[in-house]
Amino acid sequence: MAALLEVRNLRVEFPTRRGVLTALDGVSFDIAAGEVLGVVGESGAGKSMTGAAIIGLLEPPGRIAGGEIRLDGQRIDNLPYERMRRIRGKEIGAIFQDPLTTLNPLYTVGRQLVETMQVHLGIGAAEARRRAIGWLEHVGIPAAAQRVDSYPHEFSGGMRQRVVIALALCAEPRLVVADEPTTALDVSIQAQIIALLKRLTREKGTAVMLITHDMGVIAETADRVAVMYAGRIAEIGPVREVVKHPRHPYSVGLMASIPPLDRRVERLAQIEGAMPRLSAIPPGCAFNPRCPHAFDRCRAERPELLEAGATRAACWLYDPASEKHVPESAIHG
């Protein structure tokens, strides 16, 4: 399937008084139309930074220092601000964790939907209002024709997040970047939002980048998953493979920390140590100080993504030329 979004060797830097910090270092992935790519990892791994770079909303002084981002073949990482702003509304939708950062408290939700569609779809006010009510119905807001003239504060948290999803999708973007879209919601509302996102991507053929630290959400929603660590992709592949048969030692630790549903365990597995600070990322593989399988090459050379069974992992254990090369089953046993 042809890629709608292509990210190649993306590098994001933050200049500081003490030198330049590299927040993303050589991140590459694709997302096809109608596909959900989950992006998972600990806080500070670079998940939200990747999303912000794609939608052109990096916080200054952060900047894209290398690589390319292409949407349907067109490069978008080097566009002027105004041009990118138009693309952000029409071609790329964004869903953030806190709906109140997206919704304007002074305007009714209907006015916000209507204005978005008028700007990006070039339709009249009456048609835009008709569609706004349709979108509110589409995302499961009861009595949409009455609620269209309500203000954001008149909705509950879960309903506000539904409005944000309607706002992100009403201009019919081809790509949606969803950054922790269900974190602030209770579990039953989470499930409804996930089902809604899945249904809309299937019906509209929208590509979705779903950023979260919740592996349950990823397993339920994503087609493929990218596991990030210290500003790089540690492993990427079909979601079932990464969840059931992780290859990178970090992915193995991450999956082992999820409580099993079929049995009781006294203690959950944990990965010793902590994610390195941007100012102290070790040479070689960034995970090597925490890795039970690390050897000399891991401390000296940075691995690229290598074929590892059904996934690709940035780990020297999967280099056929490595003296420590292991068969596919050795790590996750």
Give the gyration radius of the chain's Cα atoms: 21
Rounded to whole angstroms, how far apart are CA atoms 132 and 144?
Answer: 9
CB burial of 145-172 (b: ≥16 within 10 Å; e: otherwise) equals eebbebbbeebeebbbbbbbbbbbbbbe
CATH dotted code for 1-81+174-244: 3.40.50.300
The ranges assigned to domains in the chain are: 1-81+174-244, 92-172, 251-260+268-274+282-333
Per-residue pLDDT reduced to its tens digit, 47-79? 999 999 999 999 899 999 999 999 999 999 999
Per-residue pLDDT reduced to its tens digit, 8-27? 999 999 999 989 999 999 99
Which residues sit opposite 176 in a β-bridge? Answer: 93, 208
Per-residue pLDDT reduced to its tens digit, 297-327? 999 999 999 999 999 999 999 998 876 766 5
Beta-carbon contacts of residue 38 (< 8 Å; ≥ 6 apart): 210, 212, 217, 218, 221, 222, 224, 225, 226, 239
Rounded to whole angstroms, how far apart are CA atoms 4 and 23?
Answer: 25
Per-residue pLDDT reduced to its tens digit, 260-297? 667 777 777 778 889 999 999 999 999 999 999 999 99
Q: What is the pLDDT of residue 9?
A: 98
Q: Report the relative pairing of strands 3-16 and 207-211 from DSSP bridges.
A: unpaired
Instruction: Look up the pTM and report it.
Output: 0.91
Angle CA 312–317–320, to nearest 5: 85
Give me the mean pLDDT over the 205-214 stretch. 91
CA dist 215 → 40, 168, 234, 249 (Å)? 7, 23, 16, 16
